Amino acid sequence: MSTLSNRPIDMRSDTVTRPTRAMRQAMADAEVGDDVLGDDPTIIKLQERIAAMMGKEAAVFVPSGTMANQTAIRAHCESGDEVICHENGHIIHYETGSPAALSGVMVKGLSGRHGLFTAHDVEAAFRPRSHHFSWSKLVIVENTNNRGGGTIWPLAQAEAVANKAHELGLRAHLDGARIWNASVATGIPVATWARSFDTISCCFSKGLGAPVGSAVAGSKELITRVHRFRKMFGGTMRQSGILAAAALHALDHHVDRLADDHAAAKKLADAISTIRGLAVDMEAVQTNMVFFDVDPALGTAAQFCDRLKAAGLWVLASGPQRIRAVLHLDVAKTDVDRAISIIASCAKTASAAA
């Protein structure tokens, strides 16, 4: 696009962020080796840093959030086991059936507002060891919860769920793809969020703005297994220190600024809540995501997304009448104002056409 005024505003996800010039320079300058042989110094530096940040013994770099979760599941479970998570969990909706395909496990989804569930829910879902049942083996908490609205687990509730899992002889994994959003929003260190969980995954290519990469942290024993399954699933790379350098730059420069995304999301949500035909659950607007519902009189969510896209705002339908907008470092303050204007105009046009 020739000018900023007609450049599309891309709020489809925080994964659409592009590396900054400084991040590209860090990647270009990265010292690299061969990570398959275990001697890429920048990968080693990132893994050691993540382990320390999460308060765990070890960590391993993986290409994606899906691989992070799936290698963790495979490290914890055997074929025929059962994983307990929320029914809106990322591992159910956005990981292409990987728990079944790669680990041979069942997944039991729990219900709960904003993507949360309780220790009591875990206990009620637990299957005792019997030759009649799949065996409950792992509980997964997603923090922040994507389909819940970018919502943050109360720390005490997350820890109660993990503690109940351990009490029942299960393991606990924290899907922390956006754990830095939870940390910045609450002031709670990521190590505190991670302390009750056996493993935690985190993503560098969402709000932190790196082009590629996630990590899994846990005990040395578990991370040895994760490392093996990373290889088995095809996720081991050679001079991947180039990617690790981007993640390290993001950790140094892009964490605190997540608060700007949270403020922008609140501003956007406040404005949408005043537009006739659109509705926002303001309680769920806790980090960088805004979900809003479209009155059927204005068409379906997909149709409304098409109207917005034609006007210069890209968002995604997440249900028949539900739309998601995500704030990130490539969205400027002026973009938020323009997005509000576009949404209001499209709602008015759709209403007039109804």
User: What is residue 128's predicted lDDT score, i.e. its pLDDT?
Assistant: 85
- Specify if 159 maps to a domain: yes
Contact 114, 145 (CB under 8 A): yes
- Specify if 89 maps to a domain: yes
- Report how far apart, in Å, the C-alpha atoms of 121 and of each of 69, 86, 134, 232, 354 are: 22, 10, 18, 34, 44
- Specify if 282 maps to a domain: yes
Sorted by sequence, the CB contacts under 8 Å of residue 236 that are 6+ apart come out as 35, 36, 230
Q: Which two tokens stand for residue 105?
A: 């496990």
| Average model confidence (pLDDT) across the chain | 96
What is the spatial distance between Cα 307 and Cα 183, in angstroms, rounded to a whole number? 35
Nearest to 175 by CA among 269, 94, 249: 94
- Specify if 164 maps to a domain: yes
pLDDT digits (tens, 9 = 90+) for 201-238: 999 999 999 999 999 999 999 999 999 999 999 999 99
- Specify if 332 maps to a domain: yes
Residues 185 and 313 in one domain: no
- 3-state secondary structure at position 108: strand
Residue 189 lies in domain: 31-253
Residues 183 and 153 in one domain: yes
User: What is residue 5's predicted lDDT score, i.e. its pLDDT?
Assistant: 58
- Specify if 73 maps to a domain: yes
User: pLDDT grade, residue 3 (50/70/90)?
Assistant: very low
Helices (H), the chain: 21-28, 41-54, 65-76, 90-93, 98-103, 119-125, 155-167, 179-186, 190-194, 220-232, 241-253, 258-272, 301-311, 333-353
Structural domains in the chain (count): 2
* Domain end point (choices 253, 286, 304): 253
- Specify if 177 maps to a domain: yes
User: pLDDT grade, residue 4 (50/70/90)?
Assistant: low
pLDDT digits (tens, 9 = 90+) for 287-302: 999 999 999 999 999 9
Residues 244 and 113 in one domain: yes
Residues 166 and 38 in one domain: yes
| Other beta carbons less than 10 A from residue 348's beta carbon | 14
* Domain end point (choices 228, 253, 278): 253
Residues 202 and 310 in one domain: no
* Domain end point (choices 204, 219, 253): 253
Residues 71 and 217 in one domain: yes
Query: Which residue has tokens 């940390």?
Result: 183
> Is the pLDDT at 273 greater than 70, yes or no?
yes
Instruction: Provide the CATH number for the domain around residue 56.
Output: 3.40.640.10
Residues 8 and 78 in one domain: no
Instruction: Provide the CATH number for the domain around residue 264.
Output: 3.90.1150.10
Q: Which two tokens stand for residue 169?
A: 């002889």
Q: What average pLDDT does range 111-121 have in this prediction? A: 97
> Is the pLDDT at 305 greater than 60, yes or no?
yes
- 3-state secondary structure at position 66: helix
- Specify if 100 maps to a domain: yes
User: What is residue 6's predicted lDDT score, i.e. its pLDDT?
Assistant: 73
pLDDT digits (tens, 9 = 90+) for 59-104: 999 999 999 999 999 999 999 999 999 999 999 999 999 999 999 9
